[in-house]
Amino acid sequence: MPDRYRKHFDQEWETSDPESLAPKIEERLRAQLVYTYENSPLYRRKFDEAGVDPSGVGLDDLERVPFTVKDEVRQTQEAAPPLGEHACVGWEEVSRIHASSGTTGKPTLVGATVRDRQMWNELVARSMWAQGARPDNRAWVALSMGWWIAGLQFLEGLQYLGAAVLPGGNTEPTRSLSVIRETGLDFVISTPSFVQYLAGVARENDIGLHELGLKNMGLGGEPGAGNPHTRRQIEEAWGCKVYDCMGTADICTVVWSECERQDGMHFMGGGFVIPEIVDPASGDPIEPVKAATGELVYTAIHRECTPLIRFRMNDIVEVVDDEPCSCGRASYRIRCLGRADDMLIVRGVNVYPSAVADVVRSMRPRVTGHMQIQADGPGPSVEPPVLIRVEYDEDKNLDALKAELQQKIRQELVFQAAVELVPSGTLAPKGVMKTKLVAR
């Protein structure tokens, strides 16, 4: 069992100077590329078409390797079901299959061998340790326990870290809260929308969340925890510290996590994944220096079952800082701005729906927190004023609320909005945790 007082779960991979790790990373990269070329018909074709010899690629010229996009994964799984032609092992080596719903509705599958699952455990343990989880903690995994990778993998990873896991999942919220009142609770991993929903359930059932003794909460799966208003409200409701984290089913459920500083997510996948930030339009690499923004790209370098090479995530991130962090971790820190295909452009200003939701939520309890942007066409460009429907809750002076919201959006996000207030329950019936942020 790891000593609860050590600062990092894996000191070498989290704190070493990146240059000292580069030879090891490069060796794993080459081994992965050659392995993938030899075992995956999809990647053999991609490398051959691009004229790239996988044994000759290094960290400095990784950009010679063609990107992989989500559609290719979907197409290859349709053509060669179930796992697709990027799968590199037979059934005797597959240890688990997860399915993600994807935006088009047809699930895409992810497979893992025993070694892949061990890699996932390491990444979850590093990240949850950074968020304050320790072996003597009681940790509730308040996530879906089914096909989605997150629930089961956080459960395994927290067990691996040594915590006592409370596997309540995200169903039966009232029962879970009453069980947890008995067991006590130190750590929760969940999504922003579910813990906000739970706060309402606790209020209705007279359960004082502050009395649970909760210390730390990790939130991922959707933007929210990294937005200042949303984070503060959740911290106040639960009486704990909230940390943002992010990953993807295709690579690992968590690849980035905030540390005690709560100011941007460190890369936690050292030795297992190589992250890149690229220009979403040209695909050119972008140096991860402070204030740089771009699209995340991942290359697996320790993956057996369904490796993905230079996989474009469609997530747009901003580098918060590239200076060494007070926590001792060496990687730069990022925050997620949103999905590239969700972004709106209002007279040249990039607007991310999750940032609008964060401003709206800052007005709770006068609003419910549910809102929807009404975009007037399929493209990213929207003409101002942008229509935003917002559910009001406990406010009687609606004219003032509307004016305040419009002013706040103009101040914080620099675009002109026309707020339409609608009664509570219009956008999200009771019990529904979140709404689609943009309607077209």
Size of the site for Zn ion (CB under 5 A): 5
Closest CB to Zn ion among residues 103, 326: 326
Q: Residue for token digits 């369904």?
A: 306
Lay out the site mask for Zn ion across 67-106 (x = CB under 5 A, - = otherwise). Answer: ----------------------------------------
Q: 292 exposed, middle or buried (CB, 10 Å; 0-12, 13-18, 19+)?
A: middle
Which residue's CB is nearer to Zn ion, number 334 or number 409?
A: 334
Residue 378 tokens read as: 């399929």
Per the listing, tokens 């343990």 go with: 125
C-beta of 222 vs 258, nearer to Zn ion: 258
List the one residue from 98, 302, 329, 389 that touches Zn ion (CB under 5 A).
329
CB of residue 299 vs Zn ion: minimum separation in angstroms?
24
Question: Are residues 46 and 54 in contact, defined by beta-carbon separation less than 8 angstroms?
Answer: no
Q: Is 199 in the site for Zn ion (CB under 5 A)?
A: no
Helix and strand element counts for the chain (H, E): 11, 19
Q: Could you tell me the sign of the dihedral formed by the alpha carbons of 391, 396, 402, 405, in that order?
A: negative
CB of 1 to Zn ion, least distance (A): 24
Among 185, 214, 217, 259, binds Zn ion (CB under 5 A): 259
- The smaller minimum CB distance to Zn ion, of residues 240 and 334, is found at 334
Residue closer to Zn ion by CB (options 8, 339) is: 8
Q: Least distance from C-beta 8 to Zn ion, angstroms? A: 10
Smallest gap from residue 12 Cβ to Zn ion (A): 16
For residue 364, what are its two tokens? Answer: 């709770």
Q: Which residue type occupies 285?
A: P
Closest distance to Zn ion from the beta carbon of 18 (Å): 15
- How many CA atoms lie within 13 Å of 304's alpha carbon, on the beta-carbon side? 17
Tokens describing residue 317: 């991130």
What lies within 8 Å, CB to CB, of 281 at 6+ separation is none
Cα-to-chain-centroid distance, residue 386: 27
DSSP state, residue 285: B
How far apart are the C-alpha atoms of 315 and 339, rounded to whole Å? 4
CB of 229 to Zn ion, least distance (A): 22
Q: Contact letters (x/-) for Zn ion, 260-299, by CB under 5 A?
A: -x--------------------------------------
Omega within 30 of 0 (cis) for the link into 365? yes
Q: Does an H or E element contain 23, and which?
A: helix 18-39
**Cross-strand bridge partners of residue 349:** 346
Q: Identify which range of 51-59, 137-145, 251-259, 310-318 contacts Zn ion by CB under 5 A.
A: 251-259
- Rank residues 24 and 261 by Cβ distance to Zn ion and give the closer one: 261
Stretch that binds Zn ion, among 93-101, 150-158, 245-253, 256-264 (CB under 5 A): 256-264
DSSP string covering 90-152: -GGG--EEEEE--SSSS-EEEEE-HHHHHHHHHHHHHHHHHTT--TT-EEEE-S--SSSHHHH
Nearest distance in Å: CB 321, Zn ion: 9
Rg (CA), the chain: 22
In the bound state with Zn ion, the residue whose beta carbon lies nearer, of 29 and 330, is: 330
C-beta closer to Zn ion: residue 127 or 170? 127
Locate 230 and state its tokens: 């949303």
Strands 367-374 and 438-439: parallel
Distance CA 77, CA 367 (A): 43
Q: Which of residues 309-328 bind Zn ion (CB under 5 A)?
A: 325, 327
Least distance in angstroms from the C-beta of 256 to Zn ion? 12
For residues 268 and 437, which CB has a smaller minimum distance to Zn ion in the complex?
268
Nearest distance in Å: CB 261, Zn ion = 5
- CB nearer to Zn ion: give 327 or 343: 327
To Zn ion, the closest distance from the beta carbon of 248 in angstroms equals 22
Instruction: Choose among 231, 225, 207, 216: nearest CA to 186.
Output: 216
Interface with Zn ion by CB under 5 A: which residues? 259, 261, 325, 327, 329
